[in-house]
């Protein structure tokens, strides 16, 4: 479940890079959250 959410956030971030710079800050924040979730999963040994 969390991996799916993280993947979606990363895809949205990539789309934000190529589509608009106005929402880039928000999309970048979502990417950071997605990376934190992935790191937590790996640290917990479920990655």
Structural domain boundaries of the chain?
2-43
Q: What is the pLDDT of residue 3?
A: 78
Each residue's pLDDT tens digit, 1-35:
777 887 787 777 777 666 666 566 776 777 788 88
pLDDT band at residue 47 under the 50/70/90 scheme: low
pTM score: 0.48
Long-range contacts, 30-39 (Cβ 8 Å, 24+): 33/9, 34/5, 34/6, 34/7, 34/9, 34/10, 35/6, 37/2, 37/5, 37/6, 38/3, 38/6
């Amino acid at each position: 479940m969390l991996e799916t959410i993280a993947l979606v956030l990363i895809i949205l971030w990539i789309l934000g890079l190529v589509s608009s710079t106005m929402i880039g800050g928000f999309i970048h924040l979502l990417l950071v959250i997605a990376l934190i979730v992935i790191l937590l999963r790996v640290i917990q040994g479920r990655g």
